[in-house]
Structure 1
């Protein structure tokens, strides 16, 4: 083989390996540069009827939405918050640590270079551009004085009429253009939340077992959909903390789970109407997986 041909072959192989290693398939994405397809519909909630209650809608979300820093053990997302919203994500999962008068967004002990004030500003900017949308936010206090987080969040939002903090279940028409808080445990602002996961649900030593666990959780979600609570299922996981899965990072789990999840959800497309699954919160979701979740809403 001539040197020029060998060089060309080498570059082709290198490009192929790079493409595969970066997981740039349509269901998993670890590329931080958002390139939306020309036909991508950012304001997808515009197609949801005003009368439909929020708990009856299937919503794509991100787990540990701001976890972009701290290495493979910590990182759960590739896209910035702004780009996640533009890609279709409508549920944000935030762990916060209160220090002084500031709520810092964390993942474990790792500061994620953002405060809750920053997050709310980004979401407000997005909603001012796309007024048909609503963004659900779960706040999980990580500080020692967890009870003070409610007061700090309330102080941040003030009397903003574009933030939903009531416990009653609204319909889509009532929350367009608004941030919707979800309450659970020590955080008591917003709509009550049901989490289908149990203690240890995020621990993965075998991905197949994780798939089966997600099926059970989604079955629970279907039963609970349309009620007085928003129902949430996390598809994320990590092998850290387990013996057999100690090398499974959140990214490694998502690379395997996301294509499977897309195939699992697609089987419901012939259904009329399609089942409701509530919020599905994912690590490293690709555009097509997000669209698969969204399209469950179209009967």
Structure 2
């Protein structure tokens, strides 16, 4: 994947000492690091553009578009555009091999499409060119061959080639600013291989007690590993805080979130925030402003923007 002069100049937003409080080779000037308060819509602008995306703490959403239907399908309360405004920068998208690539959660169509999501990303990135959005693509509902699904992907996303990045390795933030970076777990779709990431995704959770006693320790261990392991910060770490179980009496995503959310919040609150901390991609259900802020603010050694 090559980058235009415009892309690299846009990425150099990480070098403006006046607007961003950066010094030297793009590192945060110590005197300005606290004064330059990040915001939900532009928190990446204060991060050194030379850094790999793998070195960041990135809030994301599991089954990003699953807003409606039964409790076993619903995973979110806000749509992708609102999620971007609250600071989410990683989408978990599961399109089918059908016109416009409708998004599914299992067999259920969740009233959104790849075309609509990418249009929303384009609008957001036009207004906030310092940001990037990572999208994880997995074929859902249909069982097309890799060749057929890849052909559908190329036809559907061709109008978005100006914003799509499909590199084999994670780019730096400078290279990714203003772009949508594809992480692929779908045959035929180019992008950073999902298999190259360190992933924690225990999604089968049988009860609230199981969420507390089994799921949460796995999440906590994965987040600790993301910060302590791989000192080169070269591998993307992805931790799913979500889970599901069906049929009843197993827990649905809302049940599990009611257990995991306060545990995650308390763990982050008690854990000393420090500059340079890396928790990787933290995927949550039922994203809301305070939850996303607490995750993203870890990039700045904080628990909140202020």
- Flag whether TM exceeds 0.5 (same fold): yes
Distance 1:160 1:207 in 2: 40
1:277 corresponding residue in structure 2 = 279
Distance 1:270 1:134 in 2: 23
Of residues 237, 244, 248, the one that matches 2:243 is 237
Distance 1:177 1:119 in 2: 15
Q: Does the C-alpha gap of structure 1 residues 110 and 221 become closer, same or farther in structure 2, counting only changes over 3 Å?
A: same
Distance 1:274 1:232 in 2: 17
**Secondary structure in 2 matching 1:217:** helix
Q: Does 1:253 align with 2:256?
A: yes
**Secondary structure in 1 matching 2:101:** strand
The alignment of Structure 1 onto Structure 2 pairs a total of residues equal to 255
Q: Does 1:291 align with 2:293?
A: yes
1:160 corresponding residue in structure 2 = 161
CA offsets per residue over residues 87-121 of structure 1, 9 Å max, x none?
Answer: 1110000111112x441100111111111111111
RMSD: 2.2
Q: Does 1:203 align with 2:205?
A: yes
Q: TM-score, normalised by structure 2?
A: 0.76
**Secondary structure in 1 matching 2:94:** strand
Q: Any conservation in 1 of the 2:153–2:189 contact (CA below 8 Å)?
A: no
**Secondary structure in 2 matching 1:96:** coil
2:217 corresponding residue in structure 1 = 212
2:11 corresponding residue in structure 1 = none
Q: Does 1:47 align with 2:49?
A: no
Q: TM-score, normalised by structure 1?
A: 0.78
Q: Any conservation in 2 of the 1:203–1:240 contact (CA below 8 Å)?
A: no
Of residues 95, 119, 129, the one that matches 1:131 is 129
Q: Any conservation in 2 of the 1:92–1:137 contact (CA below 8 Å)?
A: yes
Distance 1:225 1:252 in 2: 36
Distance 2:285 2:232 in 1: 25
What is the Cα deviation at residue 151 of structure 1? 2.4
Distance 1:170 1:66 in 2: 25
What is the Cα deviation at residue 224 of structure 1? 4.4
Q: Any conservation in 2 of the 1:197–1:233 contact (CA below 8 Å)?
A: yes
| Structure 1 gaps, min length 5 | 1-38
Q: Any conservation in 1 of the 2:55–2:234 contact (CA below 8 Å)?
A: no
Q: Which moved more, 1:188-197 or 1:84-93?
A: 188-197
Larger radius of gyration: 1
CA offsets per residue over residues 6-26 of structure 1, 9 Å max, x none?
Answer: xxxxxxxxxxxxxxxxxxxxx
1:184 corresponding residue in structure 2 = 185
Q: Does the C-alpha gap of structure 1 residues 106 and 185 become closer, same or farther in structure 2, counting only changes over 3 Å?
A: closer
What is the Cα deviation at residue 81 of structure 1? 1.3
2:64 corresponding residue in structure 1 = 65
What is the Cα deviation at residue 168 of structure 1? 2.4
CA offsets per residue over residues 199-254 of structure 1, 9 Å max, x none?
Answer: x544243221211111122234332475444221100112325x7x51x2211211
Distance 1:124 1:239 in 2: 35
Distance 1:165 1:74 in 2: 29
What is the Cα deviation at residue 268 of structure 1? 3.3
**Secondary structure in 2 matching 1:77:** coil
1:28 corresponding residue in structure 2 = none
What is the Cα deviation at residue 188 of structure 1? 4.2
Distance 1:71 1:236 in 2: 16
What is the Cα deviation at residue 80 of structure 1? 1.5
Q: Any conservation in 1 of the 2:238–2:283 contact (CA below 8 Å)?
A: yes
